[in-house]
Amino acid sequence: MATERKAGRRVLVGFDFPFGYPKGVARDLTGHANALALWQWLADRIKDDERNHNNRFAIATEINRIYPGEGPCWGRPEKWDYPEVSTHANDREHPPPRRITERHATGAKTVWQLHYSGSVGSQTLLGLPALQQLRNARALRGQVAVWPFEGGLALPDKPIVFAEVYPSLLRDAVKTQMRKGEVVDCAQVRVNARAFATLDAAGGLTPLFGGSPRLESEQREQVEEEGWILGVGFESELHEAAKDMGPSFIGALRDTIIRYDDPFEPAAPVSDWSAHQ
């Protein structure tokens, strides 16, 4: 990212895990209804080393103890000794089981589920502290906006934007465009990057930062506390942009879209953002 900035390019980085928790959780844990305060709360507690040893279930236990009765965090290997983290979901209403964005995104899992197929809770507990460290890194300091927590439901004015994404929004396109022997995660990155880049090249990326057009005004305020999956509410546009247009189409966009064939290759300029530099 720092290299891209030195080259004068803006960067949109998508992360496939929730950026926030349901309404009220940030205040319950930190005393402030601010998602980034919760990021710091987790960063102060999570230990995660280079061998992938971490204390996420201990922190889940701490979260559960804040709430009366059986806490909201659930899902763990049965033989792991964390009795206050249940192996099954519960029916509690506070904190809510899902954010608004998960109610709008088909198949999205609850942030409270830490284990079992499709779970995202552990990724959130470990990922948010990593993002907090990254956004505060000396090389990036002052250049990163976390959408929608900084600037609300609008295109951020910072040159680097962190956004929550959900690659399964394009599950059908991924399924039909997978290459022989390709890992699913790689196909998801490739197809999703092309879709967002194609929208950008056509001037259609900016509206996605406004959240779903179906959101009511009070919901929009709640979303700015909980977070939102970039692209939810614009599924039709994403699916159209994700269509496999063939080599000639890719060649025409080579200088204006993200290079998606290799997810680890540096990003090319994105045209839609140039007006906001």
Query: What are 174's two structure tokens?
Result: 């991924």
d(CA 229, CA 100): 10
Within 8 A by CB and 6+ apart from 219, the residues are 100
CA distances from 264 to 46, 173, 186, 221, 261 (A): 27, 21, 10, 35, 9
d(CA 91, CA 69): 11
d(CA 34, CA 126): 18
pLDDT in tens, the chain (277 residues): 989 988 999 999 999 999 999 999 999 999 999 999 999 999 999 999 999 999 999 999 999 999 999 999 999 999 999 999 999 998 888 899 999 999 999 999 999 999 999 999 999 999 999 999 999 999 999 999 999 999 999 999 999 999 999 999 999 999 999 999 999 999 999 999 999 999 999 999 999 999 999 999 999 999 999 999 999 999 999 999 999 755 434 444 444 444 444 443 444 444 344 333 3
Query: What are 86's two structure tokens?
Result: 């249940």
Within 8 A by CB and 6+ apart from 142, the residues are none
Task: Count structural domains, the chain.
Answer: 1
The verdict on residue 210 lying in a domain is yes
Domain membership of residue 181 as a residue range:
2-271
The verdict on residue 167 lying in a domain is yes
The verdict on residue 131 lying in a domain is yes
Q: Is the peptide bond before 97 cis (omega within 30 degrees of 0)?
A: no
Residues in the chain, how many?
277
d(CA 39, CA 246): 41
The verdict on residue 276 lying in a domain is no
d(CA 226, CA 24): 9
Of 150, 170, 163, the residue nearest 228 (C-alpha): 163
The verdict on residue 277 lying in a domain is no
